[in-house]
Amino acid sequence: MSEKNTNIGLKIINIRELSFVNKLTDFIVDNFSEDKLDLNIGMFVRGSSDKNTVSLTVFVSYSFEDEEKNKKIEFIKLETETIFKLFDVSEDELKFLDENDEIYISDDLMNLFLDASIGAIRGMFAYKTASLPINLVLPLLDVSRFIKENSISESE
Alpha carbons within 13 angstroms on the beta-carbon side of residue 37 total: 19
% of the chain residues with pLDDT over 70 = 85
- What are the distances in angstroms from CA 89 to CA 36, 40, 66? 44, 31, 48
Residue 23 belongs to domain with CATH number: 3.10.420.10
Look at residue 42 and tell me if it is in a domain: yes
| pLDDT tens per residue across span 2-17 | 445 456 688 999 999 9
| pLDDT tens per residue across span 59-105 | 999 999 988 889 999 999 999 999 999 988 888 888 887 766 678 89
Look at residue 1 and tell me if it is in a domain: no
What one-letter code names the amino acid at 107? D
- Residue 96 has a pLDDT of 82
Domain of residue 96: give its range.
9-139
Look at residue 144 and tell me if it is in a domain: no
Closest CA to 40 of 19, 18, 71, 64: 64
Look at residue 146 and tell me if it is in a domain: no
- Residue 39 has a pLDDT of 94
Based on its alpha-carbon atoms, the radius of gyration of the chain, rounded to whole angstroms, reads 19
- What are the distances in angstroms from CA 47 to CA 43, 51, 63, 115? 13, 9, 30, 18
Domain count of the fold of the chain = 1
Look at residue 71 and tell me if it is in a domain: yes
Look at residue 151 and tell me if it is in a domain: no
* Element spanning 30, H or E: helix 26-30
Look at residue 2 and tell me if it is in a domain: no
Lowest mean pLDDT, pick from 7-11, 118-122, 149-153: 149-153
